[in-house]
Amino acid sequence: MKTTSNKKMSTEIMVLGAMLTALVVVLQLMGGFIRFGLFQISLVLIPIVIGAATCGVKVGAWLGLVFGVVVLANGDAAPFLAVDVAGTIITVLLKGMLCGLCAALVFKALEKKNRYVAVIVAAIVCPLINTGVFLLGCMVFFLDTIQAWGEAAGHSSVGEYILFGLVGGNFLFELGTNIILSPVVVRLLDIYGKRKQNKRA
């Protein structure tokens, strides 16, 4: 019985993971229509958090990696690729994978204490890691370029340009939408899962 139950659970996780993977791709491709300054707003972080909370660490990291691959493939990272190809690939893939991985690890650590607090904290961690690794990559690979961009945009310092030109509005929007929407969707999935269990019983 346990083996059958485990197989069903594994199949459900694979199906949900595949659906969330498709959603990540679609949201990232559509994200070009929603922009704040130079960069697009990533609604894609929401399914990454949901996958991290409902499917575990491997799926969370996978969804983040898919996010990074689509960013590279659809031209969103083109300004950085023109400067440093290797640095761009490392930064984009690493920030995507780590934001999903860390969200899943945080959720897993807090889930037994309070599932919804765990989802909210994971929803906060995901954009923090995504933005934090991006900024680290900028400092390591693109500092001179970003300084030139900032001067051209009329900013008095690199820090000011990074805060108000690169990530400020994007980060706040991503953080807000993640905190609001991710717990709601996870709650709906929980309700759906309980109904399926009751039908089987």
Looking at the predicted structure, is the pLDDT value of residue 157 above 60?
Answer: yes
Ranges of H-type helices in 1-110: 2-30, 45-55, 57-73, 78-81, 85-110
If pLDDT is split at 50, 70 and 90, which confidence band does 159 have?
confident
Residue 67's pLDDT is what?
95
If pLDDT is split at 50, 70 and 90, which confidence band does 198 have?
low
The rounded percent of the chain whose pLDDT value lies above 90 is 39
User: DSSP string of 169-195?
Assistant: HHHHHHHHHHHHHHHHHHHHHHHHHHH
Helix, coil or strand: residue 161? helix
Looking at the predicted structure, is the pLDDT value of residue 63 above 80?
Answer: yes
Report how far residue 47's alpha carbon sits from residue 30's, in angstroms, rounded to the nearest whole number: 14
Question: What residues contact residue 150 under an 8 Å CB cut-off, 6+ apart?
Answer: 157, 158, 160, 161, 162, 165
Q: Quick one: which H or E segment has residue 166?
A: none
Sketch out the chain's domains with CATH numbers.
Answer: 2-200 (1.10.1760.20)
Each residue's pLDDT tens digit, 130-150: 989 998 998 899 988 888 888
Give the tokens for residue 57.
């660490």
Looking at the predicted structure, is the pLDDT value of residue 2 above 50?
Answer: no
